[in-house]
Amino acid sequence: MIKIGIVGGTGYTGVELLRILARHPKVEITIVTSRTDTGKRIDEVYPNLQGLYELVFTLPTIKSLKQCDLVFFATPNGIAMTMVSALLNHGIKVIDLSADFRLQDVAVWEKWYGMPHACVDLIQYSVYGLVEMNRELIKKASLIACPGCYPTAVQLGLLPLMEAGLIDSTAIIADVKSGVSGAGRKAALPTLMSETGESFKAYNVDGHRHLPEIKQGLASMTTNSAINLTFVPHLIPMIRGIHATLYLQTDIELAEIQSLYEQRYANEIFVKVLAQQTAPDTRNVRGSNNCQIGLFKPQGENTLVILSVIDNLVKGAAGQAVQAMNLIYAFDENLGLETIALYP
Look at residue 225 in the predicted model and tell me its pLDDT: 67
Query: How do residues 81-111 score in pLDDT, each as one tens digit?
Result: 999 999 999 999 999 999 999 999 999 999 9
**Is residue 56 pLDDT above 70, yes or no?**
yes
The question of whether 149 is a catalytic residue gets the answer yes
Higher confidence at residue 86 or residue 195?
86
Catalytic residue among 68, 146, 149, 291: 149
CATH superfamily of 2-125: NAD(P)-binding Rossmann-like Domain (3.40.50.720)
- Fold annotation for 150-312: Dihydrodipicolinate Reductase; domain 2 (3.30.360)
Q: What average pLDDT does this structure show over 143-162?
A: 98
**Cis amide linkage into residue 298, ω under 30° from 0:** no
**Is residue 193 pLDDT above 80, yes or no?**
no
Contact 294, 280 (CB under 8 A): yes
Max Cα–Cα distance, the chain, nearest Å: 62
Report how far residue 113's alpha carbon sits from residue 311's, in angstroms, rounded to the nearest whole number: 24
What are the boundaries of each domain within the chain? Answer: 2-125, 150-312
Look at residue 189 in the predicted model and tell me its pLDDT: 75
**Is residue 116 pLDDT above 80, yes or no?**
yes
**Is residue 182 pLDDT above 90, yes or no?**
no
159 confidence band (pLDDT: 50, 70, 90):
very high
Report how far residue 253's alpha carbon sits from residue 170's, in angstroms, rounded to the nearest whole number: 20
Chain mean pLDDT for the chain: 95
Q: What average pLDDT does this structure show over 199-206?
A: 93
Report how far residue 329's alpha carbon sits from residue 339's, in angstroms, rounded to the nearest whole number: 20
Look at residue 184 in the predicted model and tell me its pLDDT: 73
187 confidence band (pLDDT: 50, 70, 90):
low
Report how far residue 126's alpha carbon sits from residue 137's, in angstroms, rounded to the nearest whole number: 10
Q: What average pLDDT does this structure show over 7-34?
A: 96
Query: How do residues 257-308 score in pLDDT, each as one tens digit?
Result: 999 999 999 999 999 999 999 999 999 999 999 999 999 999 989 999 999 9
3-class SS of residue 183: helix
Look at residue 207 in the predicted model and tell me its pLDDT: 94
Q: What average pLDDT does this structure show over 188-200?
A: 79
Q: What average pLDDT does this structure show over 202-220?
A: 95
185 confidence band (pLDDT: 50, 70, 90):
confident
Cβ neighbours around 246 below 10 Å, total: 23
Report how far residue 311's alpha carbon sits from residue 282's, in angstroms, rounded to the nearest whole number: 7
